[in-house]
Amino acid sequence: MRSIPLTRRWGGVLGSRLASSGQKSGVPNRGPVTWGSALLTAALGGGLLMYYQSEKERRQTTTTTTVKAVGKAALGGPWTLVDDSGLPTTDADLAGQHTLFYFGFTRCPDICPSELVKVGEIIDELDRRVGPKGPKVLPVFISVDPMRDSVEQLREYSRDFHPRMLFLTGTPDQVAAATRAYRVYFSKADAVSDQEYLVDHSIVMYLNGPDGEFLEFFTQSSSAADAVKKIMPIITA
């Protein structure tokens, strides 16, 4: 994975996102002296939060790789969510095309944005190889943070990623059903308040067939090139 260019490319977006999701419970303004240490604390805090989450997400990747042992037939199933225009969307609405699912949350500081950039790279390369009339894979982001990922939040977030990507969220029950179908783990972590927390979650992409059947998965360690190599023969078969 071209991590350095990606970091540079998304640095501005990530920076502003981190700032906007910052610690509102922070330090009151008591004048210039306190501000210096408050800023230092904020900087260190942000760094630690990112490191901690990355570690946790990496650990989840190991858990997710056991998915294969569960068996392909055991993954997927009916779900109902809502897209970033507020329209109800179900598994049946996606029938007839291959889909590439990624589960995450819009306030994820690091892993989700870089995985979503990778999804975009995979889609662009597939589009390039199959040509304008070839079979398209629909990239789909599904939120694991239904409390904060509103329709508006998704719409705003979607601007940073692939234009064909479908962004879905839902009620906590709807999200729970969709994640259960794909054995996606998620859990609130490091809560500062009911609005400020991270979500520890599986990092995995799922390729599904035109009938919604699960076909293949890719972890954080799979490169875009690896994924393209595996997906091409499937969609052109």
Residues lying near Ni ion in the complex (CB under 5 A): 104, 108, 111-112
* Residue number, nearest CB to Ni ion: 108
Distance CA 218, CA 48 (A): 27
131 conformational bin, left if phi > 0, alpha if psi -120 to 50, beta if neither = left
Closest CB to Ni ion among residues 76, 113: 113
Closest CB to Ni ion among residues 128, 188: 188
Shortest Å distance, C-beta 144 to Ni ion: 8
Measured at the alpha carbon of residue 22, what is the angle toward residues 61 and 140, in degrees to the nearest 5? 40
Closest CB to Ni ion among residues 87, 191: 191
Shortest Å distance, C-beta 42 to Ni ion: 21
Closest CB to Ni ion among residues 112, 126: 112
State the chain's maximal CA–CA distance in angstroms.
66
Are the beta carbons of 101 and 46 closer than 8 angstroms?
no
Shortest Å distance, C-beta 73 to Ni ion: 27
Closest CB to Ni ion among residues 112, 231: 112
* Packing angle, helices 224-235 and 111-130, rounded to 10: 40
Shortest Å distance, C-beta 195 to Ni ion: 17
Distance CA 94, CA 99 (A): 8
* Alpha helix ranges (H) inside 65-219: 67-70, 111-130, 151-158, 172-181
Helix (H) or strand (E) holding 131: none
Shortest Å distance, C-beta 23 to Ni ion: 19
